[in-house]
Structure 1
């Protein structure tokens, strides 16, 4: 067992876990002051619920074995409760539980991302029901499509997901998704769009009606997300090597460029570059580089960041033109950014992209992967959300929404400005 790589993987897992509290600050700062606790609790609720489900059966669905290529999903019964993963096989690079821990943090952050689309108007209990069901029937299977590493007899990990391994059998190349452009960002973005449609628009929804109540929270959250993202991207190599170093550098380059591009668009379009725009641009770049971080020259990573930052800055305006209320721009940043990063690889991936010595097959499989995940996630998220709304109810009462849902849902206030004692 390689203790260095084991330590690397465990540290990366800790970094990715930090991303969810970072997301809570990022989202919390974007909502109104009377909804900040509710918004942050959606992320913390996801941490608790998905952490438990991952141990009980999530890993068994997401990683059903080296031959687990069934569509849409299969399950490894021996891995339920992680029973078969407690011992380290002879010759394994690191304990299986280190990989389990790393992937658990991916599941947690993906579910939490979806919550940004329903800010200011969702019941906490209904969100928890949605989170558990969606993770079970959407995230865990989709993670298997992309990330599925099965333990081979020699203790090594082997690919088994249809998006990577299966498409390669058909087209000669598999889709490239190093750290989760499809499984995390397109997946969460499509589900967010579905939930935004199910819950409908907030009271008084229009451009300029809802402004972030705490931009410093937004910047703090973006900083924590960026910090954790190094574990997300470089850690996906599962080893401290040159590929991890490339992923690390690209996780600096792309979001830096995206931040600048977003600010330029803001300046041209609205006359002023904003702190929230800087934070959003950085996140858009992080989203776009996620699938591509190990497959791009750093210069092409900068180009990707510029494209993602500019396009996502424009895409967040679509909700006003199309009439759907994606409260915190999960669609405009994560769905659009995920699509950009995934499809960009079809053109510029090292040695295989259309413009980098490859052919159209790489672009084709990237598109198949992206749109398969998007459609699957959207349809099932809409159905799950619709059933919850029609049974136990998903949306709070209008009067609670107007007053702010922290008190009505959680019995707390985010800011106590007077001492009543």
Structure 2
């Protein structure tokens, strides 16, 4: 290997890439538990489809557009690395091979469109979703990744390298980008049938908790790995990630208790994700105390923000806008207040003597990415809807999207009661004797559903 190569840094980044990959299945579980049982598999599959599509496109042209030499004005990379050609085994990005850096960044590209899927749960055609993912990463994610993450001595991306917007691990490129795209999609597809009328509670809170735990675990690779070296900045990013997430969990639960009178497991899981989102852009530039402050603010603010969909009438199924768009914006803006200038960045925030300059830069980054993502996402979704149709039929949505789109169901309900709790010698119930029991179960289910609707 050439001079400057570090085996330790390379191993660290490769492990971090694997951790980030685990986040996408974690997201699938998180979203899969939050939907109703009849949509579970579709929710899982939407995240896994991103693993397939984006991996292929990244090799074909995604890496080149994101991290190829700038094609002009810091807007997009050129096509020098189509098919990953021209990249040698010994070529370095800092102290690690370019291939290791590419693998790490690929995992960011995969999870970003997967995050969007939660906004349109229960109602999107799987083929339309796959087409949207392919188009969206091409015209939205790859350019924005170049703006934010490509550094070339002042001649790289126009937001990060040329204008000093701090985004250590993806508050703008990943979370604001995905959150605002989710808003555009749920506006194009419209509300679910029964929105604000029928109970649409999570069918499996244990799955939600499992998913949030996997996300929390993988996020250490997401944030600490963004240092691209096993050094003090990576260690600070890791501890900032942990304490901000814990603080956000507490902040969400406190808001929930005061507002709704209970500490819920869904609130704990959502608060943790909100903290992870908010600390992502800031973890390499703030102190642990600053990370705690960011987490507390994000937890309470995101908990409040999820009610916006009821106020404004847009059906963001799994609160992608309230958690990712709002959380990403909070974290990005608070860099302008809490950046110490002594961690991984020299720029200082308002509270550390830097004035309003960095806050202004952060606000510009948030606004530019939000507007670009919303406009392009809306246009793509509208084009798909007008051509092949983006939304499933009303019959499919009511019956359950899993059977219609995947010919499968997550749970085999037909097996329930087929001999359950019955001795081998006992005769099977006749249709006449079974009918009253079935009628009683149906009556209880309807009564329960009515109670839930009234409570809502």
- Name the structure 2 match of 1:154: none
Distance in 2 separating the partners of 1:222 and 1:141:
29
Distance in 1 separating the partners of 2:71 and 2:168:
19
Within 5 Å, give how 1:78-157 maps onto structure 2.
Answer: 78-89=80-91, 93-149=95-151
- Name the structure 1 match of 2:437: none
Distance in 1 separating the partners of 2:408 and 2:75:
42
- Name the structure 2 match of 1:309: 299
Q: Does 1:374 align with 2:370?
A: yes
List runs of 5+ in structure 1 lacking aligned partners: 151-156, 168-173
| Alpha carbons 1:312, 1:333 under 8 Å: kept | yes
Distance in 2 separating the partners of 1:9 and 1:207:
47
- Structure 1 or 2, whichever has the larger Rg, is 2
Distance in 2 separating the partners of 1:208 and 1:177:
40
Change (3 A) 1:341 1:159: farther
Residue 109 (structure 1) shift: 0.4
Distance in 2 separating the partners of 1:34 and 1:365:
45
- Name the structure 2 match of 1:350: 340
* Aligned with residue 166 of structure 2, among 176, 180, 201: 176
Distance in 1 separating the partners of 2:77 and 2:237:
30
SS at match of 2:412: coil
- Name the structure 2 match of 1:320: 310
TM-score of the two chains, using structure 2 as the length reference = 0.87
| Alpha carbons 1:312, 1:332 under 8 Å: kept | yes
SS at match of 2:316: coil
- Name the structure 1 match of 2:12: 8
Q: Does 1:198 align with 2:188?
A: yes
Count how many residue pairs are aligned between Structure 1 and Structure 2: 407
Q: Does 1:360 align with 2:363?
A: no
Change (3 A) 1:5 1:362: same
- Name the structure 2 match of 1:70: 73
List runs of 5+ in structure 2 lacking aligned partners: 342-347, 419-456
Residue 207 (structure 1) shift: 6.9
Q: Deviations over 1:395-419 (max 9, x none)?
A: 0011111111000010000001334
| Alpha carbons 1:346, 1:364 under 8 Å: kept | yes
Distance in 1 separating the partners of 2:144 and 2:92:
30
Distance in 1 separating the partners of 2:96 and 2:359:
34
Q: Deviations over 1:321-351 (max 9, x none)?
A: 1000000000000000000000001111113
| Alpha carbons 1:148, 1:159 under 8 Å: kept | no
Residue 166 (structure 1) shift: 1.4
Q: Does 1:394 align with 2:355?
A: no
SS at match of 1:296: coil
- What root-mean-square deviation, in Å, do the aligned CA atoms of Structure 1 and Structure 2 show? 1.6
- Name the structure 2 match of 1:44: 48
| Alpha carbons 1:51, 1:108 under 8 Å: kept | yes
- Name the structure 1 match of 2:281: 291
Distance in 1 separating the partners of 2:101 and 2:72:
19
Change (3 A) 1:207 1:291: farther
SS at match of 2:282: coil
Distance in 2 separating the partners of 1:51 and 1:197:
28
